[in-house]
Amino acid sequence: METTSSRPAVSRMPVVYLGHGAPPLADDALWTGQLAAWAAELPRPTAVLMVSAHWEDAPIALGATRTVPLVYDFGGFPEHYYRVTYPAPGAPGLAARVRALLGPDVRDAPERGLDHGAYVPLVEMYPDADVPVLQMSLPTLDPVQLYRVGRRLADLRDEGVLIVGSGFFTHNLRGLDPRAEAPVPGWSAEFDHWGDEAFRAGDLDALLDFAHKAPAARLAHPRTEHLAPLFVSLGAGHEDLDTLRQVIDGFWFGLSKRSIQLG
């Protein structure tokens, strides 16, 4: 990645929160097409800062500062899913900027590769793996603290960086019927509908207090790591909350695909 001083001026980048699916997302023509079309509409980023549900570490750690093997952090899938590669360039310059914005406690984890919450959607959005990618850990699951982290990262948008929160808007694998034709569980549909209304209203207070404000919150998120990246995205895009756009909706094996863009 080029240094900030040598980079040409770029437009302010949007911020996104998306559902990343599981490795078989690659076999879903509808969803892969939606992600590809979304990326095509976005300005070309100078780099991607990825915050995935699948890396929790405190204090904040930065991985993939150089190109290293992927983290296949899943089990029980056919062998070909473990052969996927995504050799995106590292982003050491972006890592330096993140450290400058977040403070001296940020540490490097250079051997930690991109996990499936990062590379699964990126394969569909930037298939040539030619955009530098940096992954940042979730230091907490507290929505307000994560929102504050996102606000401190907002200046990266003016440097062409696409900040991506990658989770799943509902995520209760034990509560699912694995049959593709099974109806959407009530808890997933209720939480998704609540989210649609909260996003339309730009109701940040309700979103940050989802555990008390949303219906079926404990069923939709028995553990909240898949919603946590949303709060980083909301913080980074706080100035654009009134123009929040819902880009993808619907369900995948009963889980909500709802994904948003700010800016």
Q: Is residue 124 part of a domain?
A: yes
Q: In 3-state terms, what secondary structure has residue 53? A: strand
pLDDT in tens, 88-126: 999 999 999 999 999 999 999 999 999 999 999 999 999
Burial (Cβ within 10 Å: 0-12, 13-18, ≥19) of residue 254: buried
Contact 252, 31 (CB under 8 A): yes
Domain count, the chain: 1
Spatial distance between the Cα atoms of 256 and 137, rounded to a whole number of angstroms: 23
In the structure, what pLDDT confidence band is assigned to residue 6 with cuts at 50, 70 and 90? Answer: very low
Single out the residue of 105, 131, 99, 106 nearest to residue 118, CA to CA: 131
In the structure, what pLDDT confidence band is assigned to residue 143 with cuts at 50, 70 and 90? Answer: very high
Per-residue pLDDT at 8: 45
Tell me what percent of the residues of the chain surpass a pLDDT of 90: 88
Q: Is residue 119 part of a domain?
A: yes
Checking if the pLDDT of 1 tops 60, the result is no
Per-residue pLDDT at 65: 85
What integer best gives the mean pLDDT of the chain?
94
Contact 70, 82 (CB under 8 A): no
pLDDT in tens, 149-179: 999 999 999 999 999 999 999 999 888 887 7
Checking if the pLDDT of 9 tops 60, the result is no
Lowest mean pLDDT among 34-48, 127-141, 168-182, 192-206: 168-182
Q: Is residue 77 part of a domain?
A: yes
Burial (Cβ within 10 Å: 0-12, 13-18, ≥19) of residue 183: exposed
Q: Is residue 227 part of a domain?
A: yes
The DSSP line for 106-153 is -EEETT----HHHHHHHHHHSTT--S-EEEEEE----HHHHHHHHHHH
Spatial distance between the Cα atoms of 211 and 136, rounded to a whole number of angstroms: 24
Q: Which domain holds residue 191?
A: 12-262
Per-residue pLDDT at 10: 64
Bigger pLDDT: 191 or 76?
191
Q: Is residue 54 part of a domain?
A: yes
Burial (Cβ within 10 Å: 0-12, 13-18, ≥19) of residue 262: buried
pLDDT in tens, 81-95: 999 999 999 999 999
Checking if the pLDDT of 254 tops 80, the result is yes
Residue 52 is part of a domain; what is its CATH number? 3.40.830.10
Checking if the pLDDT of 259 tops 80, the result is yes
In the structure, what pLDDT confidence band is assigned to residue 11 with cuts at 50, 70 and 90? Answer: confident
pLDDT in tens, 179-188: 767 899 999 9
Q: Evaluate if pTM is beyond 0.85.
A: yes
Q: Is residue 173 part of a domain?
A: yes
Q: Is residue 1 part of a domain?
A: no
Q: Is residue 4 part of a domain?
A: no
Checking if the pLDDT of 7 tops 50, the result is no
**One-letter amino acid identity for 41?**
E
Per-residue pLDDT at 2: 40
Contact 41, 262 (CB under 8 A): no
